[in-house]
Chain A
Amino acid sequence: MCLGIPGQITELVDHEFLVAKVDIGGVKRDVIITCVVDDEHPAESCVGDWVLVHAGFAMSRLDEEEAARTLALLAELGDMQDEIDLMRQVGSSV
């Protein structure tokens, strides 16, 4: 619940409600990016950025190396697959 999974923003879906398509471990899902958008990082500049996704919300920016490290850690801890499977089941429902 608390670790979060890194994902890469591939597309801005809704500018008004700050929804972006994020590739999380191969699953693409809509994610709310409100918490990672500010004057320095406007929504339109977010495509390509790596973010830490908790429960469908991007909570922090990551650089690519940090993202790779976190993905490796989660894979080792065995915590990631259940969430990815759940995301597949639930689908992109935002």
Chain B
Amino acid sequence: MKYMDEFRDPATAKKLVEEIKRLAPIARGQREMPLQIMEFCGGHTHTLFKYGIASMLPADIEMVHGPGCPVCVLPMARVDDCVAIAEQPSVIFTTFGDAMRVPGTRKSLLQAKADGCDVRMVYSPMDALAIARKNPEREVVFFALGFETTMPSTALTLLQAYREGLKNFSLFCNHITTPATMRAILTDPDLRLDGFLAPGHVSMVIGAHPYDFVTRDYRKPLVITGFEPLDILQALWMLVKQFAEGRCEVENQYARIVPEAGNVAGLKAIAEVYETREHSEFRGLGNIGDAGVQIRDDYAAYDAEKKFGLPIDFAQGAVGYDPEHLKCADVLRGVMKPWECPAFAKTCNPQNPLGALMVSPEGSCAAYYAYGKLAKRS
């Protein structure tokens, strides 16, 4: 455990914070606003709050919380489609736990379950496949969502169903890709970002090169980072060092887990099963043309959208928007802090989430709530 102790060494953390404080004014230069650094991943948001990292940073740096939480960017219309599938009498609808509580315009999957639908929480898509094997007379649907971290697992599960010739299993595919989402953020006129902390486990799958456009086309430095407090502090130090030295590069702080070329087998499975979707509606980010993926025609028999003629609303462009008093979209895009939303910590809380950002611990509203950041002063 010696290494772990070193990794949590307060003296190292202190030294890194001091270095960040020393470099930050140089890095900020003549900018009027603080350097705005987005941590894309909700896991990083969680670590930033849990260990009080955000409060250790100098005023020259402001962290902007990104949309990197799969359930948080799920539009209500997609939850409505899940419920519509789950309401079919023959269906067993399976999903990860986080997705159960995301509100749709009518109800969440948890409410659908309470109303009598056969909705089951699983740990793995392979659990859904096992349910399909055991229930050949029922249609088993797995709600496949998430960024690239979870894409290989759903792709490999589908390929296994295909090999076995299972006829009663399908995926409702809602996967999204990180680089295209980052591009959408970079072209948002309301955001003035200066750099990125990139997600560690997405990068474990895709590698470092898919981020090259961020530095090449948008001139924003980016550092891939892990989830330990010292990972994040070191990544922030690497980022401010880039600004201070006038560099703009993709750097990999998490090289112990993230290979430059990503995970070859995982990428192969993704390429075999998925193709870019023409239209993808994201909560808060609107339509991002090339960020979502769909199941290739070769595997159409395993595509719940085709099997159930969904999503009807989505195909017609009738997206279920958030109620107006909820400001999830602005919080997701980083232009509003959670405590500025009128519903935050009042009608919307982790016990009764009205918006997706309050559902998962990785959502920024849930993180602000959990760590007592209920208003600007606190």
Q: Which residues of A contact B (CB under 8 A)?
A: 1-4, 17, 30, 32, 34-38, 52, 54-57, 59-60, 62, 65-66, 68-70, 72-73, 76-79, 82-83, 86-87, 90, 93-94
Q: Nearest chain A CB to B234's CB is how many angstroms away?
A: 14
Contact of A2 among B43, B257, B263 (CB under 8 A): B43
* Other-chain contact of B96, A1, A52, A57 (Cβ < 8 Å): A1
- Determine which of B122, B256, B266 lies in contact with A90 in the assembled complex, contact meaning CB atoms within 8 Å: B122
Complex interface bits, B198-227 against A, C-beta within 8 A gives 1, otherwise 0? 010110110000000000000000000001
> Min CB distance, A29 to chain B, in Å?
8
CB distance from B220 to the nearest CB of A (A): 22
Within B223-271, which residues are at the interface with A (CB < 8 Å)? Answer: 227-228, 256-257, 263-266, 269
Chain A: which residue is nearest B164 at the CB level?
A17
Expressed in whole angstroms, the Cα–Cα distance for A58 and B363 within the complex equals 25
CA distance A68 to B199 in the complex (A): 21
How many A-B residue contacts, CB cutoff 8 Å?
A: 125
Chain A residue numbers with a CB within 8 Å of B156 are: 32, 34-35, 57
Residues of chain B within 8 A of A69, CB atoms compared: 3-4, 7, 228
Report B-chain residues with C-beta under 8 Å of the C-beta of A1: 70-71, 96, 98, 146, 149-150, 360, 362
Q: Map CB proximity to A onto B136-180 as digits: 1 under 8 Å, 0 otherwise.
A: 000000000011011011001000100000000000000000000
Does any Cβ of A come within 8 Å of B11's Cβ?
Answer: no
Of B7, B68, B124, B202, chain A has the most CB atoms within 10 Å of the CB of: B124
8 tightest Cβ-Cβ pairs between the two chains A and B = A56-B124, A93-B130, A57-B153, A65-B3, A35-B265, A35-B266, A55-B124, A94-B126
Which residues does chain A contribute within 8 Å of B126, judged by CB atoms? 30, 32, 56-57, 93-94
